[in-house]
Copies of this chain bind each other. A is one copy, B any other.
Amino acid sequence: MSEYTAPLRDIEFLLNHVADSRFFNQQPAFIDYDPSLVSAVLAEAGKFASQVLAPLNHSGDIEGCRFHAGVVRTPQGWCEAYRQFCDNGWLSLALPEDNGGQGLPRFIAGAVHEMWLSANMSFVMFQTLTQGAVEILHAFASDDLKKLYLDKLVSGQWATCMSLTEPSAGSDLGSIRTLATKLTSELDDGRYLLKGQKIFISYGEHDLAENIAHLVLARTPDAPIGAKGLSLFVVSKYQLDESGNLAALNDLQCVSIEHKTGLHGSPTCSINYGEERGAIGHLIGAEHCGLQYMFVLMNEARLSTGQQGVAIAEAGFQRALRYATERVQGRDLISGAANVTIAQHPDVKRMLMSMHSQVFALRALSFQIAARLDLAQQGGEHSAAERRFIALMTPVFKAFATESGNHMAGTAVQVFGGMGVIEETGIAQLMRDVRVTTIYEGSTGIQANDLMLRKVVADNGFAINELIADIEADYTIFSVSSATVIETACNRAMLDSLKDSVCYLLSATKTEQLCAADSFLQLVGFSCTSWMMMRAYVAAINANSTDTAHLGNIKALCQFYFAHHTPKIQSLYHTVVNAQSGIGDYQLSC
């Protein structure tokens, strides 16, 4: 039996009944995507995830990537899996049709992406890089660059990586020092020579594809200081002739890979550009707009990272459920029956439901964001509002889902008891793999500040009040039915805490806002997931399905969530409005 089975019923319920994707077969652009087609794609993806990717997950962790003399070898079986991943069309699923992609909507691609991450997160990290790089090149690059790169990236013949971080420029990209000097000779027109050292480059070097297009943030000699002086370059691992054929190696070298706590199968590279004559790169778009372009990829990566939290939690839940329903230990404290499976112990069942309900709620939110991404791309009358929702939700989902993912990976280990910390069991790998997700692509603190300052305070609460109005509109409908009146009232009271928090924060000092940022982000996270769970609860009550057992479980998960997770909003509100207590008076040097 595979380590992972795609949770198709949960996924389809959320796509068809909870997230805004439920309206998609009413949209002209997606009229073809009826539920049965979506089902077929999901089922095929689920098979690929369990049969091809999942079996390489634990072996990849044990073997890890190997580095020697600038060359990185991925674990055994990965090159073949990459080839199949590309050949079967999974890489190009949501990429532009003009370049050989299939242009599927995000709500489908997102659901599929979660499966890859559950099955083998280390492996599939290249996909988000390609997705983001293609978007950037498509939107901002010259036609020549598009012609050179896009088709080959979409097919997977070439891979890509995102070269941002430097030893002294992590969260603060404005400190980037890598230098890009324009070549002025007639022959080299439009080219730059890059020199600098980059670290923490995921898939910066590997053996999966014949070439790697590095997207590198660098500074031109006369650029303004800080983030506004950064430009974006594409630097090919191999130099290219005019037809795009690979020529000599470019002047860049992977000098080491990191020895990390998790994600052993994903090479994290230190790369030196231009140690000799300078690495030849091409400017993307205009000079000094690099960070703005890169944010297209970064926002993509942030949403994908949030999904990593969900996906690892799903993987952990599945394994914990299997173990708990097989492992016999102890007596049923209610019935007195001897030798029961541990899943029958109420506290173990509580842990399983805690994971399942959180995964379910977070996945609903992820699908909701994906559906809005699709709507925003349609450019309809509400597309500005859709974009505000996505901008608001990006930091929330990234940080909240990864923090939750870390907690849930811990819970999964806990269900295994002593076996959980034995590496051969495989469950501790999930805990190690998910650890970095609250850090990379902008740490939780960075997301919290982004939410607070750029997404809430900067527009004086416009976007968040729009969100609150959306939630309230749902609750007003739900409160009419006697079947959901109690749950709605409870969630409405919690929503008041969100409203009160926003009110407080908009008139708070900047220090108060920053001290409250993390708690506020969590408060918004629980509010949005509770909203999704209210939708799921109502949908499960009203659904016409013969699968009553599944609907019963969904209702149970929602009720559990309202009792075990939603109430955290209460105490978070208390923290938000008192967040600065003691912080000003505390001396770090004491």
Chain A residues in the interface with B (C-beta under 8 A): 165, 168, 170-172, 175, 199-200, 258-262, 321, 324-325, 328-331, 333-334, 339, 343, 345-353, 357, 406, 410, 413-414, 417-418, 420-424, 428, 431-432, 435-436, 438-440, 443-445, 448-449, 453, 510-511, 514-515, 517-519, 549-550, 552-553, 555-564, 567-572, 574-575, 578-579, 581-590
**Would you call A334 and B514 a contact (CB within 8 A)?**
yes
Residues of B within 8 A of A514 (CB): 333-334, 345-347
Q: How far is the CB of A305 from chain B (nearest CB, A)?
A: 13
**Would you call A421 and B261 a contact (CB within 8 A)?**
yes
Q: How far is the CB of A356 from chain B (nearest CB, A)?
A: 8
Q: How far is the CB of A330 from chain B (nearest CB, A)?
A: 4
List 3 tightest A-B contacts by C-beta distance, closest first. A560-B582, A559-B582, A567-B574
Q: What are 30 pairs between A and B in contact, CB < 8 Å?
A: A165-B418, A170-B417, A171-B330, A172-B330, A175-B329, A200-B418, A260-B423, A325-B588, A334-B511, A346-B515, A346-B517, A347-B518, A349-B586, A350-B515, A350-B583, A410-B435, A418-B436, A420-B435, A420-B439, A421-B436, A421-B439, A431-B435, A519-B564, A555-B585, A557-B582, A559-B582, A560-B581, A563-B582, A567-B570, A570-B570
**Would you call B170 and A588 a contact (CB within 8 A)?**
no
What's the number of copies of this chain in the assembled complex?
2
Residues of B within 8 A of A171 (CB): 329-330, 417
Residues of B within 8 A of A431 (CB): 261, 435
A432, A439, A571: residue with the most chain B Cβ atoms closer than 10 Å = A571
- Give Cα A566 to B170, complex, Å: 34
**Would you call B445 and A421 a contact (CB within 8 A)?**
no
- Shortest Cβ distance from A552 into B: residue: B585
A-B contacts besides A200-B418, A420-B435, A563-B581, 6 pairs, CB < 8 Å: A261-B421, A261-B428, A334-B510, A414-B439, A556-B583, A558-B582
Residues of B within 8 A of A343 (CB): 588
**Would you call A555 and B574 a contact (CB within 8 A)?**
no
**Would you call B590 and A445 a contact (CB within 8 A)?**
no
Residues of B within 8 A of A519 (CB): 564
- Give Cα A448 to B328, complex, Å: 20
**Would you call B334 and A170 a contact (CB within 8 A)?**
no
Q: How far is the CB of A217 from chain B (nearest CB, A)?
A: 16
Residues of B within 8 A of A175 (CB): 329, 339
Residues of B within 8 A of A453 (CB): 333
- Give Cα A564 to B572, complex, Å: 8
Residues of B within 8 A of A410 (CB): 406, 435
Residues of B within 8 A of A418 (CB): 165, 170, 199-200, 436, 439-440
Residues of B within 8 A of A559 (CB): 581-582, 585
Contact of A583 among B349, B423, B443, B586 (CB under 8 A): B349
- Shortest Cβ distance from A509 into B: residue: B334
**Would you call A260 and B422 a contact (CB within 8 A)?**
yes
Residues of B within 8 A of A428 (CB): 261, 435
- Give Cα A588 to B317, complex, Å: 12
